[in-house]
């Protein structure tokens, strides 16, 4: 904790020094910065100032969202109308206590939970109809203040904070209740969506660990005073500055620091622009060279669609090609990787890919590179692929881009309980796919064979492949179906049983399965029918492993089983697709029945999804030919974009100078 405070203090100090012109290319300014950095790096104080680098910022300066001027906080709560909204993590318990205390002490009129409803995640650039209806209700009911909660996980924090943001945008003061761990995420979520200060009430510990009586006691003794203070204490500039910090430069290509290699590392670290690993110092001259390998100018905004800026959560920055290049350089990517880095950045702006990356469940982003560009650059699809140099460098770019371009910070708005793996990259053995009669992955999803395509996805698991010890295609499919039902979202699969998956299979497995399933679509159809999970298992996971709702306190297991079977929505993901079916092959002999209730675990890839370049279930031939294995990667949706190159002539000339053959020499044919 002390280290983080020191880093933030140094970061703010360095930023302020930049703004007043104290960080220039002079030796004097460098020495001034070094004297502050020395507090965290005494061991390097004696390093001579050699090989100085004039570095630039990896963080875009522009934002798609402009900060609002918040309404004054209330002078008193006496007789005010208060809406208590949300519903996550035992809010029904703590909100009830807060409601009763507000009514007793101040004579407040209160609207509770479903009386007002909730707006959910709030995007100021494009508010949902649900959010607009929520705001209108607040107005219609004459609400003076909003209390939203409870925040106890990465995704629910964004939703519950969204209620407060929606209120603040129409001039209604709000307070968000959250577990202590999630207070930084609440504040940064508000700031990134244009609300300078979101007031919070911090709940000690974890909601789910406390019995109802303890939750009630903490609401009375700890939360209540914070709520009252948050709604009645005026917002001061110092509070705004504490959350917002300060910009580190005035122009996108300004030199923000000058120093040796070691000093550069320290500067980026204390400025929270590094993921903790060494970075390549990015200079303006080097960035200009990298931009030659793109089809965009330095100041052109990458996250655009149909002439409009598409917000990239959580910071909603205007991401320029220049800053993409800075992060590519810092990651160690060579200049010829720029089309990949640019396409990855465009993927970031697609909500289908980004929707889960702030969760406590730790989705790890990955990139699949398809087409001739993958072959030209030598992106590996062989055994050990993600550890090959090219693959690792692109994964490192994703790590830095998540931090600097998107604005994700560990423990602030990336809330994985056990942290995150490094992002990774791989390619497909497209020739094998063609040889067995399958379209390569990107062709199956609407692109031409020789398009160079970047697909971004995310996964919740790693390194648990299944060996296929048979050449029987149906048995191989059944093994795949069994593993699909085991590889669930959120561990045991307590939320959405049909969450997206990408399925890797080595050449040997693909050849075995293709003997019985001559296209990816026929394989998908078989898995939709075969990969079914017993409803009892699904209900058990949702009943006992759903940490936010404590379903077992409100209904019996059998009642919940029947609710899911009859089509009740679970965790806002819609109804399960339940049917009475034959017992799955792998449970024959275990279940003493011929038929049981099961739920579907794979969704169909519809034509509408393919037109949007979004995939629910993807099959990729990869991993080489040394083993007979497949691996199911459950996680978020995948989204694909074509990698845009400079003109063919310019690209080939640039690449020829680096020793590459022309791109067309890497084309394939059916």
In the structure encoding, which two tokens stand for residue 343, read together?
A: 């396409």
How many CB atoms sit inside 10 A of residue 68's CB? Answer: 16
- 533 sits in the region (left: phi over 0; alpha: psi -120 to 50; else beta) called beta
Residue 40 has pLDDT above 70, yes or no: no
**35-49, 375-389, 448-462, 584-598: which range is least confident on average?**
35-49
pLDDT, mean of residues 214-232: 95
pLDDT tens digit sequence for 304-353: 877 777 777 777 888 999 999 999 999 999 999 999 999 999 988 876 67
pLDDT at residue 260 is higher than 80: yes
Sign of CA dihedral 529, 535, 539, 545: negative
Residue-level pLDDT at 171? 95
- Give per-residue pLDDT as tens, 224-257: 999 999 999 999 988 888 776 544 446 788 888 8
For the segment 87-105, what is each residue's pLDDT rounded down to a tens digit?
Answer: 888 899 999 999 999 999 9
| Cα atoms found within 13 Å of the Cα of residue 21, Cβ hemisphere only | 0
Sort residue 107 into left (φ over 0), alpha (ψ -120 to 50) or beta. left
Place of tokens 């794979």: 602
Average the pLDDT over 45-61 and give the result: 71
Residue 589 burial by Cβ neighbours in a 10 Å radius (0-12, 13-18, 19+): exposed
Asked if 359 and 155 touch (Cβ cutoff 8 Å), the reply is yes
Q: How confident is the model at residue 565 (pLDDT cuts 50, 70, 90)?
A: very high
With a CB cutoff of 8 Å and minimum separation 6, the contacts of 661 are 376, 655
What's the rounded Cα separation, in Å, for the pair 483 and 52?
54
Tokens of 371: 């087409």
Q: Please say if the pLDDT value at position 144 is more than 70.
A: yes
Tell which residue, 142, 189, 149, 181, has the closest CA to residue 165.
189
If you search the block for the tokens 């009430």, which residue do you land on?
A: 201
Residues 6+ apart with CB under 8 A from 543: 551, 552, 557, 560
Q: Which is more confidently placed, 205 or 229?
A: 229
494-503 per-position pLDDT tens digit: 777 887 889 9
Across the chain, what does the average pLDDT equal?
85
The two three-digit tokens of residue 224, written as one number = 């209540």
Task: Tally the C-alpha atoms within 13 A of residue 53's C-alpha that lie toward its C-beta.
Answer: 21
Q: How far apart are the first and last CA of the chain?
A: 58
| Coil vs helix vs strand at 645 | coil
| pLDDT score, position 32 | 37
Residue 354 confidence (pLDDT): 62
pLDDT of residue 244: 67
Torsion of CA 540, 543, 548, 549, to 10 degrees: 170
Nearest to 284 by CA among 1, 653, 25, 572: 25
Q: Between these two residues, 320 and 406, which has the higher pLDDT value?
A: 320
| Three-class SS of 494-514 | CCCCCCCEEEEECHHHHHHHH
% of the chain exceeding 70 in pLDDT: 86
What pLDDT is recorded for position 22?
34
Structure confidence by residue, pLDDT tens digits, 630-668: 999 988 778 899 999 999 999 999 999 999 999 999 999
- Cβ neighbours of 374 (radius 10 Å): 26
Cβ–Cβ under 8 Å, residues 267 and 248: no
- pTM score of the predicted model: 0.74
175 burial (CB, 10 Å; 0-12 / 13-18 / 19+) is: buried
Burial class (CB in 10 A: 0-12, 13-18, 19+), 278: middle
Q: Has residue 139 got a pLDDT over 90?
A: yes
Reduce the DSSP state of residue 47 to 3 states and report it: coil
Rounded distance between C-alpha atoms, residue 5 and residue 471, angstroms: 58
Question: In the predicted model, is pLDDT for residue 169 greater than 70?
Answer: yes
In angstroms, rounded to a whole number, what is the distance separating the alpha carbons of residues 430 and 453? 13
Q: What is the pLDDT of residue 182?
A: 82
Name which residue leads in pLDDT, 294 or 13.
294
Q: Is 98 exposed, middle or buried (0-12, 13-18, 19+ CB in 10 A)?
A: buried
CA dist., res. 256 & res. 254, Å (int): 6
Interval 467-506: pLDDT, tens: 999 999 999 999 999 999 988 877 777 777 887 889 999 9
Q: CA-based angle 182:490:635, to the nearest 5?
A: 105
The predicted model gives 454-479 an average pLDDT of 92
- How many distinct helices (H) and strands (E) make up the chain? 26, 20
Amino acid 500: pLDDT:
84
HEC sequence for 579-624: EEEECCHHHECCECCCEEEEEECCCCCCHHHHHCCEECEEEEECCC
Q: 109: which 2 tokens?
A: 């009129």
Bond prior to 150 in cis (omega within 30° of 0): yes
Predicted local confidence at residue 412, as pLDDT = 63
Handedness of CA 599, 604, 606, 610 (dihedral sign): positive
Nearest to 398 by CA among 429, 360, 363, 449: 363
Q: Which of 56, 36, 25, 31 is CA-nearest to residue 266?
A: 36
pLDDT at 348 (0 to 100): 84
Q: How far apart are CA 176 and CA 506, in angstroms?
A: 48
3-state secondary structure of 557: helix
Tens digits of residue pLDDT in 432-447: 999 999 999 999 888 9
- Residues facing 151 on adjacent strands: 178
Among residues 527, 665, 653, 539, the alpha carbon closest in space to that of 596 is found at 539
On whether the CB atoms of residues 325 and 290 are closer than 8 A, the answer is yes
Supply 413's token pair. 């708005």
């Amino acid at each position: 904790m002390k280290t983080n405070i020191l880093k933030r203090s140094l970061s703010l100090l360095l930023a302020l020094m930049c703004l007043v012109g104290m960080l220039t290319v002079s030796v004097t300014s460098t020495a001034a910065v070094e004297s502050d950095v020395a507090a965290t790096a005494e061991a390097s104080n004696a390093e001579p100032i050699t090989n100085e680098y004039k570095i630039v910022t990896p963080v875009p300066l522009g934002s798609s969202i402009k900060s609002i001027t918040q309404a004054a906080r209330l002078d008193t709560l006496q007789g005010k109308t208060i809406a208590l909204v949300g519903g996550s993590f035992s809010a029904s318990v703590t909100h009830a206590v807060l409601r009763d205390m507000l009514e007793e002490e101040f004579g407040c009129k209160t609207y509770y939970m479903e009386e007002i409803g909730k707006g959910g995640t709030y995007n100021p650039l494009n508010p949902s109809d649900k959010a607009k209806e929520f705001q209108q209700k607040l107005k219609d009911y004459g609400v003076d203040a909003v209390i939203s909660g409870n925040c106890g996980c990465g995704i629910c924090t964004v939703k519950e904070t969204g209620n407060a943001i929606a209120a603040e945008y129409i001039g209604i003061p709000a307070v968000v209740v959250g577990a202590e761990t999630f207070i930084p995420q609440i504040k940064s979520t508000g700031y990134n969506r244009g609300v300078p200060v979101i007031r919070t009430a911090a709940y000690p510990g974890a909601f789910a660990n406390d019995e109802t009586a303890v939750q009630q006691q903490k609401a009375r003794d700890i939360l209540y005073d914070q709520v009252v203070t948050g709604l009645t204490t005026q917002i001061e500039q110092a509070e705004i500055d504490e959350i917002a910090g300060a910009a580190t430069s005035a122009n996108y290509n300004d030199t923000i620091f000058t120093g040796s290699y070691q000093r550069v590392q320290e500067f980026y670290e204390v400025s929270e622009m590094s993921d903790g690993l060494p970075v390549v110092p990015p200079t303006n001259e080097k960035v200009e060279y990298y931009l030659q390998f793109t089809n965009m100018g330095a100041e052109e905004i990458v996250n655009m669609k149909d002439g409009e800026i598409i917000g990239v959560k959580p910071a909603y920055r205007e991401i320029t090609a220049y800053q993409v290049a800075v992060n590519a350089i810092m990651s160690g990517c060579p200049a010829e990787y720029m089309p990949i880095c640019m396409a990855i950045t465009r993927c970031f702006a697609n909500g289908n890919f980004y929707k889960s990356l702030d969760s406590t469940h730790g989705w790890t982003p990955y990139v699949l590179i398809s087409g001739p560009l993958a072959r030209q650059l030598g992106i590996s699809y062989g055994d050990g692929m993600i550890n090959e140099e090219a693959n690792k460098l692109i994964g490192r770019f994703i790590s830095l881009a998540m931090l600097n371009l998107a604005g994700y910070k560990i423990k602030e708005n990336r809330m994985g309980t056990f942290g995150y793996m490094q992002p990774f990259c791989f390619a497909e053995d497209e020739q094998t796919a063609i040889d067995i009669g399958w379209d390569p992955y990107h062709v199956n999803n609407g692109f031409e064979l020789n398009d160079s395509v970047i697909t971004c996805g995310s996964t919740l698991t790693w390194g648990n492949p299944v060996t296929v010890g048979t050449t029987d295609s149906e048995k191989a499919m059944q093994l795949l179906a069994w593993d699909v039902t085991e590889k669930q979202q959120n561990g045991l699969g307590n939320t959405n049983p049909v969450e997206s998956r990408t399925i890797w299979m080595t050449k040997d497995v693909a050849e075995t399965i293709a003997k019985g399933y001559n296209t990816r679509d026929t394989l998908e159809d078989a898995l939709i029918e075969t990969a079914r999970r017993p409803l009892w298992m699904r209900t058990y996971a949702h009943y006992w492993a759903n940490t936010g709702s404590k379903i077992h306190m409100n209904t019996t297991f059998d009642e919940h089983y029947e609710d899911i079977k009859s089509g009740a929505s679970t965790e806002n993901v819609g109804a399960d697709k339940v049917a009475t079916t034959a017992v799955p092959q792998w449970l024959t002999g275990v279940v003493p029945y011929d038929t049981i209730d099961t739920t579907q675990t794979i969704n169909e890839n519809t034509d509408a999804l393919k037109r949007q370049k979004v995939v629910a279930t993807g099959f990729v031939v990869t991993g080489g030919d040394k083993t007979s294995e497949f691996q199911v990667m459950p996680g978020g949706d995948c989204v694909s974009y074509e990698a845009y190159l400079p003109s063919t002539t310019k690209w080939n000339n640039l690449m020829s100078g680096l020793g590459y053959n022309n791109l067309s020499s890497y084309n394939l044919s059916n």
